[in-house]
A and B are shown apart, each in its own frame.
Chain A
């Protein structure tokens, strides 16, 4: 079974530029998450989707971050304009929840997209 795919793996941009990250979850996973992991810290939730609807985006800085999950499969996270403090690894994760009314609770993470803002 293929894992969660993310691209690009690395991105370096100047502040005030824009960037987009792509995620393809495990096939059949209804729930998709974007987490931000700053160096030396734990992952922090940005947004949670179930199918193509937003479940939780309370911690998403909506003035500069946006995310969408069209057709309930792939997702894109965009940052515009980027700030220095956005330098982090952006992790996408997916889980079974919602497919069959039950879940082990396990999140499956991709390898992340490392963003450096100069």
Chain B
């Protein structure tokens, strides 16, 4: 019940294309859903996050879509750039001071 399942494991996208990464969860107590971006040799950094009271959140080229009934959420990267090449992790946690549970990650490569 604590798992967050992420797919695909790896993704190759042409420059200017749309990158889509999906996550599914089981624990209905989860109410905070962030995406973290990690470059090699660095720690993960928060990219964008959503709470279940909205179905979509957009920040620049990054959008989270959230489907509460399906217990799924996804990250869309529009106009993907080579600088977006990194590993992306979805995560979730219940409310309160509870730790994040992370997915296994998606390695994104954006090629010119």
Contacts and interface: CB of A to CB of B under 8 A. Distances in A.
Interface of A: 4, 31, 33, 35, 40-45, 48, 50, 55-56, 91, 93, 97-98, 103-107, 109-112
10 contacts: A41-B104, A42-B91, A45-B99, A45-B101, A103-B97, A105-B49, A109-B44, A111-B42, A111-B43, A112-B42
Interface string B36-76: 00000111111001000000000000000000000000000
Of B34, B44, B99, B105, most A-chain CB atoms within 10 Å:
B99
Interface of B: 6, 32, 34, 41-46, 49, 89, 91, 93, 97-105
Contacts of A112: 42-43
A88 B103 CA distance: 17
Contacts of A110: 43
B105 A31 contact: no
B34 A42 contact: no
